[in-house]
Structure formats: C-alpha cells, structure tokens
Structure 1
Amino acid sequence: MKTGRYDNAIADYLGRLGEGGVVQRFGKTLHLGYDFAQELRYGENPHQAGALYGDFSAVAEQLHGKELSYNNILDARYAMLLMKDFLEDELPVVSILKHTTPCGVAAASTLLEAFNAAFKTDPESPFGGIVICNKIWDLVLAMRVNEMFTEVLIAPDYTPEALALLRKKKDRRLIRWHPQAMNLDFDYRGVPNGMLVQEYDTAVEIVRMGQVVTTRPPTTEEHASLSFVWKVAKAARSNAVVFGSGTRTFAIGSGSPARVGAVHVARDTAKHLGISLVGTVLASEAMFPFRDGVDQVAAAGATAIVQPGGSKRDDEVIAAANEHDMAMIFTHYRHFRH
C-alpha cells in the first residue's frame, strides 16, 4: 500500500510539471490516498450507505456521545469553516447551524450573551442543530445549552465543569476542535465519473477597505455591523443575505434560487418572529443583479449594504440605494456556496 502511494505521489508531482519545470496548481492526475476511518450508520439518508476516509478526527476530536453521522460530519465541516473566520476575534462568538447553514451568529462579552443573541435570530430552527464557539466552552453556556436538544457541540476546548455537565446526555456529541490541524488547500467534490477540485474559499475581506459606491458613506456603526454580517453571509448557502446590527444577526435568508427571494425569506422569517429589521444593515454574498433586491432591503428598514458588485446593472442598483439614502460598499469578492 505504501509503495502504491509513493508511486501515485510521484505521478501526481510529475503531472504538475509544466513547461520549463514550473509546478502547476493542478496536475494531469489526481490520487487521493485517504485511509478508511469508519463505516457510518448510513449516508445522508437511511437508504444510502456511507463511510468516512482520512483523518477528520485530527481536526474534530470526539470527547463524548454517539458516533458521528454523515450529516453530523457535514454540518461540523461548515460550522468550523464559518467559525474559522472569527477565531482571532477578541469577543466570544457563538453560531448555531442547521443543515450546514447558519441560523444565528453573535458576538458578545460572554459566551452566554453571544448564544442568547444568536438564538434570537431564529428560535425555531436550532432544534437538533449544531452549536460552535470560538472560545473555551464554560459552565454557564453549558447550563443554557443543556436546556435544549442539540446534535453536536464544538469548541476549541471545554472547562472541566462544562464537560461534566454536557456528558450527562449520552447521545450528545461533544467535539474538541483543533483548527490548526485543518488542511484547507483544496476542496474536493465528487461528480458522476469525476471529481471537481477547487481551492478553499479562505479569503477574508476587510469591508472598511471596500469601495463605497453610494453618495452617502457608511457611518462608523454601519461599518462595524457590515464587517460582522459579511463574514456570516460568506458561510450561508447561496443565494444568501444576512440582516444584522452590531455583532449579531437579525435575519438570514439562504438557499434561495433568486437574490430577491433570499431577501423575502429573511424578511418573512423576521416578521413571523416579531423581529424588527429597522436600522439593520445587510450583507449579500453575491451581487444584486437587479434593483428589486435593494428596494426590498430598504423597505425592511435596513440602512446599508455590503455586496461584491459586478452586475451589468450595477448603475441601477447603486441608483436605488441612493434613492433610499442607503450606504453601499462593493468588496469585489464573491462568496458563492453551493
């Protein structure tokens, strides 16, 4: 087996040599030498077989609970990719995810305050979801989360008291996260008869350095809010928009076929939950192709937008923002997530 891997590694390296011996990013062959890790109870659904290969446990060390399922591992992947962008934040940050997409994210002076703020975004969706944080999980947060049903909890570490309490529920999966062990060189996705390969989306733009395209620039408070929701929008499934203010989300619309549809989803959810979006800002992970999305964002009461730009109708979109006296920033970076 080791000889075969060695031969494959040599073949892949030689296949990457271009003219003049320059190493290319993608070679003529691809051999993924992952070891079998475990057979899963099933795949995404009970009628599908599933297995795990590689060293995922080096990144996600399971401390307690039932064996991780296929969906648990998939959810954990996206939870860690989201929180990776908040690891260096001074404030504690908590995110709640369901079906690989965030349903609430917040930062606050304590983990408990951050969790409660994230939970307010959508109290109906966290049931059976994943909770992840960027700091050591303490007893106060453990007591709060222990009141609800969660599938997986993820943190860089846990206090002994928190771990003792959380272990009392035998089925709950507890994960110690080792972000420094994450290999984020290439992202692989299988297709019939082949494999798609791309670099991981590790870009983190400084929103304040973006291009202000409207007559009115964002205020200091809007800049801070836009920076926060931009990170969250990057982690949501396309098409995605995120309303927020300060260091918390207020409404998230994701997975919509239409950009304006994502705005409608977020607004309708907020209305259903009695959440006012007046005075919030909005991030869109990809461009607004038409002005209708901006009109709807303004109608919701938001005052500023951050988006990549790049639409053929950017002039119309900017004009709409100006008509509503909104501030708008173009980052010139798109973050599709399919």
Structure 2
Amino acid sequence: MSDLKKMYKTLQQDPFPADMTVTLGEQKLTFKKRTWDIEGETKGLRYGENPDQPAALYELVSGGLEYDGIKFRGEGQGLVSALTEEHMIQAGKHPGKTNLTDVDNALNILQYLTAKPAAVILKHNNPCGAAWSDEGVGTALRNAFQADRIAAFGGAIVVNRPLTMEAAEVIDSAYFEVVAAPAFEKGTLEVLKKRKNLRILQIPGINDLENLLGQPFLDVKSLMDGGMVIQFSFRNRILSAEDFIPATAEKDGSSYSARTPSKQEADDLLFAWAVEAGVTSNSVIFAKDGVTTAIGTGEQDRVGCVELAITKARTKYADGLTFEKFQMSLFELKLKAIKDEQAAADLAEIEKAAVEAQAGLKGSVLVSDGFFPFRDGVDLCMAQGITAIAQPGGSIRDHEIIQAVNEASPQVAMVFTGQRSFKH
C-alpha cells in the first residue's frame, strides 16, 4: 500500500511546450505555460485528473477573440491561470488539475453573486454547499458547510470577500484541501497555516469578477477522436429578479399563468440560478434564505434528479442532527448501532426526525437547469414543501406544469428563465 500512495505525491514529467498558439481564422491567441518554483523545484501541474495523466496549465497572454460583435475574455483577465508563487501563500506541493478546476468553477459561480458576501465549497467540480449572506463571509461559509458537511470533506473553499477570522475558524474545524480568497484579514493566515496540507491561494481578481459579466470565454470540448467542439461559454441572463419571465402558457385556446414569487422567493431563486451555472446536468437545486438545502446533479432523468436531491438532503439533515446531538457523523452512529441497542434507538429517532422535518427542505425554492418534461418532478418537489420554482420553460407541457403549481395548497410560485443552463 505504501508504494501505491507514492503515485499521489509524484510529479509527472510534463512534456508540453512552454508556449501554445491557437489560430481561429485571422484571430490568434497566444498562451504561456504556468510553472511554479515550490521547495526548489520548478514544475507546472502535478498531474491531470489522475496521477498517470501529465497535464499543463496555460495562461492567455496575448490576443483576443470577437465574434458577432461580442468580445471574448482576453489577456490581463487571468484568475486561476494567472496564479504565481506570490499568490500561493501556502502551496504544500505543486497543485493538480482538480484543485485548480474546482477553484475555477467556484469563480464561475461567484461571478454572479457579487452583490453579497458569498462562499462556495466544491468537490469533483460540483458545489456541495453554497451560500451568501448580508452578515458577512463567515456566516456564508458556515452556512455553506452546514448544508453538506459530508461532501465538504476534502473540498475546495472559495469566498468573494476578504477571509475573516470567523471563516478561518470554520476552515480549521474540518479537513479541506484548498481555500481561495481575494485577501486575508489579520490573524487568519496564522490559523490556516496550522494545517500544513491546506493550499492557501490569494486571488486578487476575485474583487473584479463583476467586470467579466457578459463576456464569454472560448469553451473547448475535446473529442476522443482528436476533434473538438468550440462554443461560447454559458452567460447567465438572470442577473436580477426582474430578469425572470412570468410563467405563462397557451393550450387549446386556454391561458395559464403561475403565481409571481415574493421578494424573498425571488432573491433565493436568483441565488440558486447563479449556483446552477456551476452544476453538472441534469440538475436541480433547492435553496432557502440564501443557502443551498439540496443539490441533485448528474442524473439522466429529471424526476430522478429530484429524487436524488431529496434523498441526499435527508441524509445530510440526519447527519447534522447526529453531529449536533452526539458529536459524531451519521455513519459512525450507524456503525455503532449494529451492536449497541441504545445507538440503534438513537438512529431510528434521528431518521424519523429527518423524515418528519422533510429533510429541512420545507420553505425552500427550487431551480432546474432544464424544463420539466412532465409534472412528476414538480409534484415530487412540491411534496417537500417548496414555495417557488424557476425553470427555463419551453416544454410542450408547460401548461401542465403551471396547472400543477396552481393546484398546490398553498399555491406555489413559478417563473421562467428563458434559457437553459446545461453543463456537460
């Protein structure tokens, strides 16, 4: 086993060139490979998605693209790709691809959440908890962590305000691999540096995320045959509650319309739709009071995605109750319950409480990255006590979906986004 562990500590010999040029018609982009001198060794990425995959990180250093009158993000706007040794306050070891792509996807989400202090915790390039709060970045991070303590283990934390002592204490309470912030308040680095394997990144450009809105980047998907698909990156059109579209439909001469969300519901829908930009499809997000209460991701069918989110939420809620009452995880209690009658009784009580509390989902809003093809997914999430929905609209059954929310008691609000948010 000791030999197997070496693969995760060994730097791959990076065979890629120092420079890369991409030419699209008459427009040219020039990139420079990013390397770092860490502990006397100058190397780039430790490895790619897996230890046996050499990889390299490139920063766009000159050139730019413009199509259909739209200017793409260009040189001088680097964030993750512009990281230098100075920004790596504590590196531990040369970073791997997944460390940096997690941070990058957090920034992809946070660009739409600049109005308030916000925090995102990611694992495997998907958020496991996200929150924003007028009370500050510490409250936002604590809420994001409590939304899913289980998945947050070993995750990457990114915040959009200077990291406070309150936030540092949250980070010090569990195991994380990466933390990134635009700056660090006095005393916080001393707390964070106690964890020697924690990568601490300062990314000043987080302060300017709002300036990137409306500018796409060149989104490249390489195919297994060596070809590639290029596209404009996703650009969120819902930047304020006023950008939502009233949910209406026509069918056989009849008109259908849904209740308009309240101000709080609209604010939560706006927040959840921003987080949706960084979630793998098919996906749905439950949110309440500026915090994700459940995230269902990567399912092939939409109703299955709702079911997954609810099941996960019930587990996370039970885990939270267990930790609060017994200072152990739900899985530790389950293990103990195999041989201990009192632990088994405690487990049954916890699981019953999670069901009765509807996994903490009651009062949440829900967003869906694609339209609901049938009302089954809508009925299922309404059974958990949600109060409002935002979804793209455009289904031939939109009238049935509107009927479903209107039949709910109390009536559930719904709006359309007018765009899909698939991420593959």
Which TM-score applies when normalising by structure 1? Answer: 0.86
Q: Is 1:210 the equivalent of 2:251?
A: no
Q: Is 1:238 the equivalent of 2:281?
A: yes
Residue number in structure 2 paired with 1:319? 403
Q: Is 1:194 the equivalent of 2:223?
A: no
Residue number in structure 1 paired with 2:183? 157
Task: Return the offset for 1:42.
Answer: 2.3
8 Å contact kept, 1:229–1:244: yes
Secondary structure of 1:125's partner? Answer: helix
CA distance in structure 2 between the partners assigned to 1:77 and 1:209 by the alignment = 26
CA distance in structure 2 between the partners assigned to 1:80 and 1:95 by the alignment = 9
CA distance in structure 1 between the partners assigned to 2:196 and 2:269 by the alignment = 40
Structure 1 pair 215–82 and aligned structure 2 pair: CA distance change class (3 A): closer
Cα shift readout 1:257-290 (whole Å, capped 9, x = no counterpart): 1111111111111222233211111011221111
Secondary structure of 2:170's partner? Answer: helix
Residue number in structure 2 paired with 1:328? 414
Give 1:139-154 correspondences, 5 Å limit: 139-154=165-180
CA distance in structure 2 between the partners assigned to 1:73 and 1:184 by the alignment = 20
- Which one has a bigger Cα radius of gyration? 2
Which letter maps to 2:132?
A: A
Cα shift readout 1:268-326 (whole Å, capped 9, x = no counterpart): 11222233211111011221111111111111111110011111221222222222221
Secondary structure of 2:236's partner? Answer: coil
Unmatched tracts of structure 1, length 5 or more: 17-26
8 Å contact kept, 2:258–2:402: no
Q: 2:136 aligns with which of 93, 107, 110?
A: 110
Secondary structure of 2:50's partner? Answer: coil
**Identity of aligned pairs, percent?**
35
Paired residue total: 315
CA distance in structure 2 between the partners assigned to 1:86 and 1:62 by the alignment = 24
Which letter maps to 2:270?
A: S
Unmatched tracts of structure 2, length 5 or more: 1-18, 36-43, 61-79, 248-256, 318-353
CA distance in structure 1 between the partners assigned to 2:273 and 2:398 by the alignment = 19
The farther-off stretch of 195-204 and 99-108 is: 195-204
Residue number in structure 2 paired with 1:176? 202
8 Å contact kept, 2:57–2:81: no
8 Å contact kept, 1:120–1:250: no
Residue number in structure 1 paired with 2:123? 98
Root-mean-square deviation over aligned CA pairs: 2.3
Cα shift readout 1:164-189 (whole Å, capped 9, x = no counterpart): 32123222111112244978531222
Secondary structure of 1:50's partner? Answer: coil
Q: Is 1:306 the equivalent of 2:390?
A: yes
CA distance in structure 1 between the partners assigned to 2:281 and 2:216 by the alignment = 21
8 Å contact kept, 2:155–2:176: yes
8 Å contact kept, 2:142–2:167: no
Structure 1 pair 64–212 and aligned structure 2 pair: CA distance change class (3 A): same
